[in-house]
Amino acid sequence: MTQPPLGAALPARAPLSAERAVTVLDVVIPVHNEEDDLEGCVRRLHAHLTETFPYGFRITVADNASTDRTPEVSAFLDDTIEEVTAVRLEQKGRGRALRTVWTMSDAPVLAYMDVDLSTDLKALLPLVAPLISGHSDLAIGSRLTGGSRVVRGTKREFISRAYNLILRTGLAARFSDAQCGFKAIRKDVADRLLPLVEDTGWFFDTELLVLAERAGLRIHEVPVDWIDDPDSSVHIIRTATDDLRGVWRIGRALATGTLPLDRLRRPFGDDPRDRVVPGVPRGLARQAVGFCLVGAVSTCLYLALYSLFRTGMGAQGANALALLLSAVANTAANRRLTFGVRGRDRAFRHQAQGLVVFAIGLALTSGSLAALSLASGSPSHGTEVAVLITANLAATALRFLLLRAWVFAPFSDDVSGSSC
Protein backbone atom coordinates (compact mmCIF):
# COMPACT_ATOMS: atom_id res chain seq x y z
CA MET A 1 0.00 0.00 0.00
CA THR A 2 1.35 3.44 -0.95
CA GLN A 3 2.28 5.49 2.10
CA PRO A 4 1.46 9.22 2.27
CA PRO A 5 4.29 11.76 2.03
CA LEU A 6 6.10 12.28 5.32
CA GLY A 7 4.81 15.84 5.76
CA ALA A 8 1.28 15.16 4.54
CA ALA A 9 -1.57 16.38 6.73
CA LEU A 10 -4.55 14.23 7.61
CA PRO A 11 -7.46 14.12 5.17
CA ALA A 12 -10.97 15.04 6.28
CA ARG A 13 -12.82 12.28 8.12
CA ALA A 14 -15.41 10.37 6.11
CA PRO A 15 -17.59 7.32 6.84
CA LEU A 16 -16.31 4.03 5.46
CA SER A 17 -17.95 1.77 2.92
CA ALA A 18 -20.50 -0.66 4.36
CA GLU A 19 -19.81 -3.41 1.83
CA ARG A 20 -19.57 -6.78 3.54
CA ALA A 21 -17.02 -8.07 1.02
CA VAL A 22 -14.56 -5.28 1.83
CA THR A 23 -12.16 -5.81 4.74
CA VAL A 24 -12.95 -2.87 7.01
CA LEU A 25 -11.37 -4.06 10.28
CA ASP A 26 -8.00 -5.67 10.97
CA VAL A 27 -7.72 -6.94 14.56
CA VAL A 28 -4.13 -7.60 15.62
CA ILE A 29 -3.27 -9.99 18.43
CA PRO A 30 0.38 -9.47 19.45
CA VAL A 31 1.78 -12.62 21.08
CA HIS A 32 5.01 -13.87 22.64
CA ASN A 33 5.18 -17.50 23.80
CA GLU A 34 1.40 -18.01 23.93
CA GLU A 35 1.13 -21.55 22.55
CA ASP A 36 -1.45 -22.58 25.14
CA ASP A 37 -3.91 -19.68 24.81
CA LEU A 38 -3.53 -18.55 21.21
CA GLU A 39 -5.82 -20.98 19.36
CA GLY A 40 -8.68 -20.64 21.82
CA CYS A 41 -8.43 -16.85 21.72
CA VAL A 42 -8.42 -16.63 17.92
CA ARG A 43 -11.33 -19.06 17.49
CA ARG A 44 -13.40 -17.23 20.10
CA LEU A 45 -12.70 -13.86 18.51
CA HIS A 46 -13.41 -15.21 15.02
CA ALA A 47 -16.74 -16.66 16.13
CA HIS A 48 -17.73 -13.38 17.76
CA LEU A 49 -16.88 -11.29 14.70
CA THR A 50 -18.62 -13.72 12.35
CA GLU A 51 -21.82 -13.58 14.38
CA THR A 52 -21.94 -9.89 15.33
CA PHE A 53 -19.70 -7.73 13.10
CA PRO A 54 -21.53 -6.38 10.03
CA TYR A 55 -18.41 -5.66 7.96
CA GLY A 56 -15.55 -7.62 6.46
CA PHE A 57 -12.75 -8.34 8.94
CA ARG A 58 -9.34 -9.91 9.34
CA ILE A 59 -7.55 -11.28 12.41
CA THR A 60 -3.76 -10.92 12.32
CA VAL A 61 -1.61 -12.86 14.76
CA ALA A 62 1.61 -10.90 15.26
CA ASP A 63 4.15 -13.32 16.74
CA ASN A 64 7.06 -11.29 18.06
CA ALA A 65 10.04 -13.56 18.62
CA SER A 66 8.28 -16.48 20.32
CA THR A 67 10.54 -19.39 21.23
CA ASP A 68 7.83 -22.01 21.93
CA ARG A 69 5.24 -23.52 19.54
CA THR A 70 3.45 -20.20 18.97
CA PRO A 71 4.71 -19.90 15.34
CA GLU A 72 3.34 -23.35 14.53
CA VAL A 73 -0.04 -22.57 16.12
CA SER A 74 -0.18 -19.26 14.22
CA ALA A 75 0.60 -20.95 10.92
CA PHE A 76 -2.06 -23.62 11.56
CA LEU A 77 -4.71 -20.96 12.22
CA ASP A 78 -3.63 -19.09 9.09
CA ASP A 79 -4.09 -22.26 7.02
CA THR A 80 -7.43 -23.33 8.49
CA ILE A 81 -9.36 -20.05 8.96
CA GLU A 82 -9.80 -17.81 5.93
CA GLU A 83 -9.95 -14.54 7.90
CA VAL A 84 -6.80 -15.26 9.93
CA THR A 85 -3.29 -14.14 8.90
CA ALA A 86 -0.04 -14.92 10.73
CA VAL A 87 2.91 -12.55 10.78
CA ARG A 88 6.29 -13.46 12.28
CA LEU A 89 8.72 -10.90 13.72
CA GLU A 90 12.21 -11.83 14.88
CA GLN A 91 12.36 -9.08 17.52
CA LYS A 92 10.30 -8.84 20.68
CA GLY A 93 8.08 -5.88 21.54
CA ARG A 94 4.33 -5.27 21.49
CA GLY A 95 4.76 -1.80 20.03
CA ARG A 96 7.06 -3.13 17.31
CA ALA A 97 4.52 -5.82 16.40
CA LEU A 98 1.64 -3.35 16.18
CA ARG A 99 3.66 -0.83 14.18
CA THR A 100 4.70 -3.53 11.68
CA VAL A 101 1.25 -4.99 11.10
CA TRP A 102 -0.61 -1.68 11.11
CA THR A 103 1.84 -0.25 8.57
CA MET A 104 1.38 -3.24 6.25
CA SER A 105 -2.40 -3.50 6.61
CA ASP A 106 -4.78 -2.24 3.93
CA ALA A 107 -7.81 -2.16 6.25
CA PRO A 108 -9.20 1.34 6.97
CA VAL A 109 -9.72 0.52 10.67
CA LEU A 110 -7.00 -1.13 12.76
CA ALA A 111 -7.45 -2.59 16.22
CA TYR A 112 -5.63 -4.76 18.70
CA MET A 113 -6.41 -6.78 21.79
CA ASP A 114 -4.45 -8.90 24.24
CA VAL A 115 -4.40 -12.65 23.73
CA ASP A 116 -5.97 -13.35 27.13
CA LEU A 117 -9.20 -11.60 26.02
CA SER A 118 -9.54 -9.99 29.44
CA THR A 119 -11.86 -7.43 27.84
CA ASP A 120 -15.37 -8.63 27.06
CA LEU A 121 -15.78 -8.82 23.27
CA LYS A 122 -19.19 -7.13 23.38
CA ALA A 123 -17.26 -3.84 23.55
CA LEU A 124 -15.55 -4.43 20.18
CA LEU A 125 -18.30 -3.06 17.93
CA PRO A 126 -18.80 0.07 20.13
CA LEU A 127 -15.02 0.51 19.98
CA VAL A 128 -14.71 0.62 16.20
CA ALA A 129 -18.09 2.11 15.29
CA PRO A 130 -17.01 5.77 15.82
CA LEU A 131 -14.02 5.16 13.52
CA ILE A 132 -16.12 3.55 10.81
CA SER A 133 -18.66 6.39 10.93
CA GLY A 134 -15.94 9.04 10.68
CA HIS A 135 -16.73 10.48 14.11
CA SER A 136 -13.39 9.75 15.84
CA ASP A 137 -9.73 9.16 15.04
CA LEU A 138 -8.83 6.67 17.79
CA ALA A 139 -10.84 4.61 20.26
CA ILE A 140 -9.77 2.99 23.52
CA GLY A 141 -11.34 0.63 25.98
CA SER A 142 -11.21 2.06 29.48
CA ARG A 143 -11.28 0.24 32.80
CA LEU A 144 -11.23 3.50 34.75
CA THR A 145 -14.14 5.44 33.28
CA GLY A 146 -17.73 5.44 34.51
CA GLY A 147 -19.71 2.39 33.45
CA SER A 148 -16.75 0.01 33.31
CA ARG A 149 -16.91 -3.18 35.36
CA VAL A 150 -13.53 -4.53 36.42
CA VAL A 151 -12.37 -7.52 38.43
CA ARG A 152 -8.70 -7.41 39.44
CA GLY A 153 -6.39 -7.43 42.44
CA THR A 154 -5.55 -4.46 44.63
CA LYS A 155 -1.95 -4.29 43.43
CA ARG A 156 -2.82 -3.95 39.75
CA GLU A 157 -5.64 -1.53 40.53
CA PHE A 158 -3.27 0.72 42.48
CA ILE A 159 -0.57 0.62 39.78
CA SER A 160 -3.08 1.40 37.03
CA ARG A 161 -4.58 4.38 38.82
CA ALA A 162 -1.17 5.68 39.92
CA TYR A 163 0.07 5.53 36.33
CA ASN A 164 -3.05 7.34 35.14
CA LEU A 165 -2.40 10.06 37.75
CA ILE A 166 1.18 10.43 36.51
CA LEU A 167 -0.04 10.90 32.94
CA ARG A 168 -2.60 13.49 33.99
CA THR A 169 -0.17 15.51 36.07
CA GLY A 170 3.01 15.02 34.04
CA LEU A 171 1.67 15.10 30.48
CA ALA A 172 -1.74 16.75 31.03
CA ALA A 173 -3.42 13.70 29.48
CA ARG A 174 -7.22 13.69 29.50
CA PHE A 175 -7.88 10.07 28.46
CA SER A 176 -8.59 7.74 31.36
CA ASP A 177 -6.79 4.45 30.59
CA ALA A 178 -3.63 4.24 28.49
CA GLN A 179 -2.70 0.60 29.05
CA CYS A 180 -5.92 -1.33 28.48
CA GLY A 181 -5.12 -3.82 25.71
CA PHE A 182 -8.18 -2.91 23.64
CA LYS A 183 -7.71 -0.08 21.14
CA ALA A 184 -8.48 0.95 17.57
CA ILE A 185 -7.27 3.61 15.14
CA ARG A 186 -8.15 4.76 11.65
CA LYS A 187 -5.57 3.73 9.06
CA ASP A 188 -5.10 7.25 7.71
CA VAL A 189 -4.29 8.44 11.24
CA ALA A 190 -1.94 5.52 11.90
CA ASP A 191 0.03 6.23 8.71
CA ARG A 192 0.85 9.74 9.97
CA LEU A 193 1.12 9.00 13.67
CA LEU A 194 3.24 5.83 13.75
CA PRO A 195 6.42 7.47 12.35
CA LEU A 196 6.37 9.80 15.36
CA VAL A 197 6.07 7.00 17.95
CA GLU A 198 9.49 5.84 19.15
CA ASP A 199 8.65 3.18 21.73
CA THR A 200 8.52 -0.46 20.65
CA GLY A 201 7.32 -1.98 23.92
CA TRP A 202 4.52 -1.41 26.42
CA PHE A 203 4.75 2.40 26.40
CA PHE A 204 3.74 2.36 22.72
CA ASP A 205 0.05 2.81 23.66
CA THR A 206 0.66 5.80 25.89
CA GLU A 207 2.92 7.56 23.42
CA LEU A 208 0.41 7.02 20.63
CA LEU A 209 -2.44 8.50 22.67
CA VAL A 210 -0.49 11.47 24.04
CA LEU A 211 0.67 12.52 20.57
CA ALA A 212 -2.82 12.11 19.13
CA GLU A 213 -4.39 14.13 21.93
CA ARG A 214 -1.80 16.92 21.68
CA ALA A 215 -2.45 17.12 17.93
CA GLY A 216 -6.13 17.72 18.60
CA LEU A 217 -7.38 14.36 17.32
CA ARG A 218 -10.57 12.90 18.76
CA ILE A 219 -10.20 9.91 21.09
CA HIS A 220 -13.35 7.92 21.84
CA GLU A 221 -13.49 6.00 25.14
CA VAL A 222 -15.57 2.88 25.68
CA PRO A 223 -16.26 1.53 29.19
CA VAL A 224 -15.42 -2.17 29.26
CA ASP A 225 -16.04 -5.28 31.31
CA TRP A 226 -12.59 -6.56 32.22
CA ILE A 227 -11.33 -9.55 34.25
CA ASP A 228 -7.70 -9.66 35.28
CA ASP A 229 -5.62 -12.59 34.02
CA PRO A 230 -3.73 -13.91 37.06
CA ASP A 231 -1.32 -15.79 34.76
CA SER A 232 -0.30 -12.70 32.78
CA SER A 233 3.37 -12.74 31.77
CA VAL A 234 3.74 -8.96 32.07
CA HIS A 235 6.64 -7.96 34.35
CA ILE A 236 4.99 -5.15 36.32
CA ILE A 237 8.07 -3.48 37.82
CA ARG A 238 10.10 -3.48 34.61
CA THR A 239 7.10 -2.26 32.60
CA ALA A 240 6.42 0.53 35.10
CA THR A 241 10.05 1.65 34.96
CA ASP A 242 10.04 1.72 31.16
CA ASP A 243 6.76 3.66 31.20
CA LEU A 244 8.21 6.32 33.52
CA ARG A 245 11.19 6.72 31.21
CA GLY A 246 8.77 7.13 28.34
CA VAL A 247 6.76 9.77 30.21
CA TRP A 248 9.96 11.76 30.83
CA ARG A 249 11.02 11.48 27.17
CA ILE A 250 7.64 12.57 25.79
CA GLY A 251 7.28 15.35 28.35
CA ARG A 252 10.67 16.74 27.38
CA ALA A 253 9.88 16.54 23.67
CA LEU A 254 6.57 18.33 24.13
CA ALA A 255 8.20 21.01 26.28
CA THR A 256 10.91 21.70 23.70
CA GLY A 257 8.55 21.56 20.72
CA THR A 258 10.54 18.91 18.85
CA LEU A 259 7.50 16.87 17.79
CA PRO A 260 6.01 17.86 14.39
CA LEU A 261 2.40 17.60 15.54
CA ASP A 262 1.21 19.82 12.68
CA ARG A 263 1.57 16.69 10.52
CA LEU A 264 -1.47 15.31 12.34
CA ARG A 265 -3.78 18.30 11.94
CA ARG A 266 -7.12 17.79 10.29
CA PRO A 267 -7.71 20.02 7.24
CA PHE A 268 -9.67 23.24 7.48
CA GLY A 269 -13.37 22.49 7.15
CA ASP A 270 -13.28 19.16 9.01
CA ASP A 271 -14.03 20.89 12.32
CA PRO A 272 -17.57 22.28 12.83
CA ARG A 273 -15.96 25.37 14.37
CA ASP A 274 -14.72 26.19 10.86
CA ARG A 275 -18.26 26.66 9.59
CA VAL A 276 -20.10 29.92 9.20
CA VAL A 277 -23.13 29.88 11.52
CA PRO A 278 -25.55 32.84 11.34
CA GLY A 279 -25.27 34.95 14.46
CA VAL A 280 -22.06 33.24 15.64
CA PRO A 281 -18.84 35.04 14.65
CA ARG A 282 -16.15 32.72 13.30
CA GLY A 283 -13.04 32.32 15.39
CA LEU A 284 -14.67 33.73 18.51
CA ALA A 285 -13.73 30.80 20.76
CA ARG A 286 -10.06 30.79 19.73
CA GLN A 287 -9.78 34.55 19.98
CA ALA A 288 -11.40 34.55 23.42
CA VAL A 289 -8.91 31.98 24.67
CA GLY A 290 -5.99 33.90 23.21
CA PHE A 291 -7.26 37.16 24.65
CA CYS A 292 -7.63 35.59 28.11
CA LEU A 293 -4.07 34.26 28.03
CA VAL A 294 -2.66 37.62 26.93
CA GLY A 295 -4.88 39.35 29.48
CA ALA A 296 -3.67 37.15 32.32
CA VAL A 297 -0.04 37.95 31.53
CA SER A 298 -0.68 41.67 31.05
CA THR A 299 -2.70 41.84 34.29
CA CYS A 300 0.27 40.38 36.18
CA LEU A 301 2.48 42.92 34.45
CA TYR A 302 0.08 45.72 35.37
CA LEU A 303 -0.06 44.73 39.05
CA ALA A 304 3.73 44.43 39.23
CA LEU A 305 4.17 47.85 37.66
CA TYR A 306 1.53 49.39 39.88
CA SER A 307 3.17 48.03 43.02
CA LEU A 308 6.55 49.32 41.79
CA PHE A 309 5.31 52.81 40.89
CA ARG A 310 3.14 53.11 44.01
CA THR A 311 6.23 53.29 46.21
CA GLY A 312 7.21 56.62 44.65
CA MET A 313 3.92 58.27 43.65
CA GLY A 314 0.24 58.43 44.47
CA ALA A 315 -2.31 55.76 43.62
CA GLN A 316 -3.79 57.61 40.63
CA GLY A 317 -0.41 58.28 39.01
CA ALA A 318 0.83 54.74 39.62
CA ASN A 319 -2.40 53.32 38.18
CA ALA A 320 -2.28 55.52 35.06
CA LEU A 321 1.37 54.78 34.27
CA ALA A 322 1.11 51.04 34.94
CA LEU A 323 -2.07 50.80 32.87
CA LEU A 324 -0.54 52.76 29.98
CA LEU A 325 2.55 50.56 29.72
CA SER A 326 0.63 47.31 30.11
CA ALA A 327 -1.98 48.50 27.59
CA VAL A 328 0.67 49.12 24.90
CA ALA A 329 2.12 45.66 25.50
CA ASN A 330 -1.38 44.15 25.59
CA THR A 331 -2.40 45.71 22.26
CA ALA A 332 0.80 44.51 20.58
CA ALA A 333 0.38 40.97 21.94
CA ASN A 334 -3.29 40.75 21.00
CA ARG A 335 -2.56 42.12 17.55
CA ARG A 336 -0.05 39.36 16.86
CA LEU A 337 -1.30 36.41 18.91
CA THR A 338 -5.06 36.80 19.32
CA PHE A 339 -6.12 38.38 16.03
CA GLY A 340 -3.24 37.17 13.88
CA VAL A 341 -2.30 40.54 12.40
CA ARG A 342 1.31 40.53 11.18
CA GLY A 343 3.57 43.15 9.71
CA ARG A 344 3.68 46.90 10.25
CA ASP A 345 0.60 47.78 8.22
CA ARG A 346 -1.79 49.83 10.41
CA ALA A 347 0.33 49.09 13.48
CA PHE A 348 0.32 52.76 14.52
CA ARG A 349 -3.42 53.02 13.97
CA HIS A 350 -4.02 49.91 16.05
CA GLN A 351 -1.95 51.32 18.90
CA ALA A 352 -3.82 54.63 18.70
CA GLN A 353 -7.16 52.84 18.84
CA GLY A 354 -5.77 50.72 21.64
CA LEU A 355 -5.00 53.89 23.59
CA VAL A 356 -8.63 54.93 23.23
CA VAL A 357 -9.59 51.60 24.71
CA PHE A 358 -6.94 52.23 27.36
CA ALA A 359 -8.59 55.56 28.21
CA ILE A 360 -11.88 53.78 28.79
CA GLY A 361 -10.14 51.28 31.06
CA LEU A 362 -8.37 54.12 32.84
CA ALA A 363 -11.69 55.82 33.47
CA LEU A 364 -13.12 52.63 34.96
CA THR A 365 -10.16 51.92 37.24
CA SER A 366 -9.54 55.54 38.21
CA GLY A 367 -13.20 55.99 38.93
CA SER A 368 -13.10 52.91 41.13
CA LEU A 369 -10.12 54.30 43.08
CA ALA A 370 -11.85 57.66 43.48
CA ALA A 371 -14.99 55.97 44.74
CA LEU A 372 -12.92 53.89 47.17
CA SER A 373 -11.21 57.01 48.55
CA LEU A 374 -14.53 58.75 49.06
CA ALA A 375 -15.97 55.70 50.78
CA SER A 376 -13.12 54.81 53.17
CA GLY A 377 -10.79 57.78 53.31
CA SER A 378 -7.40 56.02 53.53
CA PRO A 379 -7.80 52.50 52.17
CA SER A 380 -5.02 49.91 52.61
CA HIS A 381 -2.81 48.84 49.73
CA GLY A 382 -4.46 45.41 49.69
CA THR A 383 -7.91 46.98 49.39
CA GLU A 384 -6.73 49.18 46.53
CA VAL A 385 -5.38 46.14 44.67
CA ALA A 386 -8.61 44.18 45.20
CA VAL A 387 -10.71 47.05 43.83
CA LEU A 388 -8.39 47.45 40.87
CA ILE A 389 -8.62 43.74 40.04
CA THR A 390 -12.41 43.92 40.03
CA ALA A 391 -12.43 47.06 37.90
CA ASN A 392 -9.92 45.52 35.50
CA LEU A 393 -12.12 42.46 34.98
CA ALA A 394 -14.91 44.71 33.75
CA ALA A 395 -12.46 46.73 31.66
CA THR A 396 -11.02 43.52 30.20
CA ALA A 397 -14.40 42.28 28.98
CA LEU A 398 -15.12 45.63 27.38
CA ARG A 399 -11.61 45.70 25.90
CA PHE A 400 -12.10 42.35 24.13
CA LEU A 401 -15.36 43.51 22.57
CA LEU A 402 -13.80 46.76 21.37
CA LEU A 403 -10.68 45.08 20.00
CA ARG A 404 -12.72 42.54 18.09
CA ALA A 405 -15.50 44.81 16.84
CA TRP A 406 -13.51 48.01 16.25
CA VAL A 407 -9.71 47.92 16.47
CA PHE A 408 -9.13 44.72 14.48
CA ALA A 409 -12.51 44.48 12.73
CA PRO A 410 -11.08 44.84 9.18
CA PHE A 411 -8.93 41.75 9.78
CA SER A 412 -11.35 39.49 11.65
CA ASP A 413 -12.52 37.61 8.56
CA ASP A 414 -8.98 36.98 7.38
CA VAL A 415 -7.68 35.50 10.61
CA SER A 416 -10.72 33.73 12.02
CA GLY A 417 -10.73 31.23 9.21
CA SER A 418 -7.15 30.20 9.91
CA SER A 419 -7.93 28.34 13.09
CA CYS A 420 -9.69 25.11 13.80
DSSP letters for 124-161 = HHHHHHHHHTTS-SEEEEESSSTT-EEE--HHHHHHHH
Helix (H/G/I), strand (E/B), else coil: 97: helix
**CA separation for the pair 417, 2 (Å, rounded):** 32
- Bridge partners (DSSP) of residue 88 are 63
Pairing status of strand 56-64 against strand 23-31: parallel
Output phi, psi for 403, to 5 deg. Answer: -65, -45
Q: Which of 420, 298, 338, 415 is nearest to 12 (CA)?
A: 420
User: Residue type at 60?
Assistant: T
The most distant pair of C-alpha atoms in the chain lies apart, rounded to whole Å, by 93
Give the N- to C-terminal CA distance of the chain in Å, as an integer: 30
Separation CA 190–CA 104 (nearest Å): 11
C-beta of residue 276 within 8 angstroms of C-beta of residue 235:
no
* Sequence letter at residue 297: V
CB burial of residue 343 (10 Å; 0-12, 13-18, 19+): exposed
Check: CB of residue 211 under 8 Å from CB of residue 264: yes
- Phi and psi at residue 177, to the nearest 5°: -150, 105
Catalytic positions, written as ranges: 205
Residue from 111, 172, 177, 169 nearest 148 by CA:
177
DSSP conformation class of 174 = -
CA–CA distance from 348 to each of 19, 304, 398 (Å)? 61, 26, 21
According to DSSP, residue 338 is labeled I
